[in-house]
Amino acid sequence: MTSLTTAEAPRKAPRTTGTRRPRRPRLPRWRDYGRPRELIVRYLLLLFVLGITVGPLIWQFLASLKSTSEDVFGANATLLPHDPTLRAYRAVFEQVPVATYIWNSVIVVVLSVTSQLLFSTTAGYMLSKPAWKGRKAVWILLAASMMFPFESIMVSLFLSIRDLGLVDSLVGVWLPGFVAAINVLLMRGAFLAVPRELEDSAMIDGAGEWQRFRHLYLPSAWGAIMVVVINTFIAAWDDFLWPLIVLRSESSMTLTLGLSRLQSSSFGYDQRVVMAGSVISIVPVLVLFFITQRWFYKGVSAGAVKF
């Protein structure tokens, strides 16, 4: 009998030793983060920064819960309230029309966010296009306008608002900040990060300018859009100086301006009530940031301004 050739010889079946269990991912160890001394210094610095940023907010909230028999300042003051009470929060709603102030602030915020999104995205999209003359000059003018502080143009802005008859109106509060140069440049940087090949393929498929802007550029710059929304919300909600100049009547005051009346002697200045009013004004900003922080940090890195 002729022997089988090497190619025709039956191969030995691999020996099976049973089903292998998948390896568990290795948990990080302390040594992976650096030396113990460096790790301790790093965490101490983080705790120091955390205390500086979050500490005043926590102290303010705890002070608003104190009763009238407890001191807010002084040698006898303590950090934790001995008898927590919501009396200060009830006093805020009793002394000033908080609901009216909140509604006015919401109107200004909605107008500001809408206009910022509309003009910053469209202007940033146009600045990201290289096929038109004067693009660089417009970009330089926008960047140069950021060098002037608001106080340097405040008087001229007020004269313009007065000539338009918008004093003591929410439109007069919103109009000077309907678009910001920093948001335009932020959206420009986000749109520049979109690969040119994607737009070329969309043009080959027959997509027009508006379709490319809506279905290609806007979804790619979602993180930068959230940065614009958060920054605009915080700026419009916390603005105090410009509403103080423009607004006159109590029915048109925003929340930050209206709550400042709690410090006047006509309401019997109470530090706990002032603290409670400050906490009320901060809560919407914190809620918005905690909801959108994932997109915020992503947009800060993806939508960085490119020079």
- So what's the pLDDT on residue 4? 47
CA 270 to each of CA 89, 131, 169, 231, 291: distance values in angstroms, whole numbers, following the listed order: 12, 61, 30, 32, 33
Q: What does the pLDDT read at residue 34?
A: 56
**What is the average per-residue pLDDT within 163-173?**
92
Is the confidence at residue 288, as pLDDT, over 80?
yes
Give yes or no for residue 8 having a pLDDT over 80.
no
Sequence-separated (6 or more) residues with CB below 8 Å from residue 221: 121, 187, 190, 191, 193, 194, 299, 302, 303
pTM value is: 0.77
Domains present along the chain, CATH in parentheses? 33-85 (no CATH), 96-302 (1.10.3720.10)
* Predicted pLDDT at 24: 64
30-39, 97-106, 223-232, 290-299: which has the highest mean pLDDT? Answer: 97-106
Average pLDDT over residues 184-199: 86
Q: Which of 98-112, 270-284, 291-305 is predicted with the least confidence, judged by mean pLDDT?
A: 291-305
Give pLDDT, residue 55. Answer: 86
Going 190 to 192 to 195 to 196, the CA torsion angle's sign is positive
d(CA 71, CA 243): 33
pLDDT for the residue numbered 247: 92
Q: Which of the residue ranges 37-41, 49-53, 261-265, 293-297 would you say has the lowest mean pLDDT? A: 293-297
Q: pLDDT band for 173, please (50, 70, 90 cuts).
A: very high
pLDDT band at residue 102, thresholds of 50, 70 and 90?
very high
- The residue-averaged pLDDT of 271-279 equals 87
Structure tokens at 65: 């819960």
pLDDT of residue 31: 56
Q: What is the pLDDT of residue 304?
A: 47
**Is it the case that residue 1 has pLDDT exceeding 50?**
no
- Confidence grade of residue 100 (pLDDT, cut at 50, 70, 90): very high
Instruction: Count Cβ atoms below 10 Å from residue 269 Cβ, excluding itself.
Output: 11
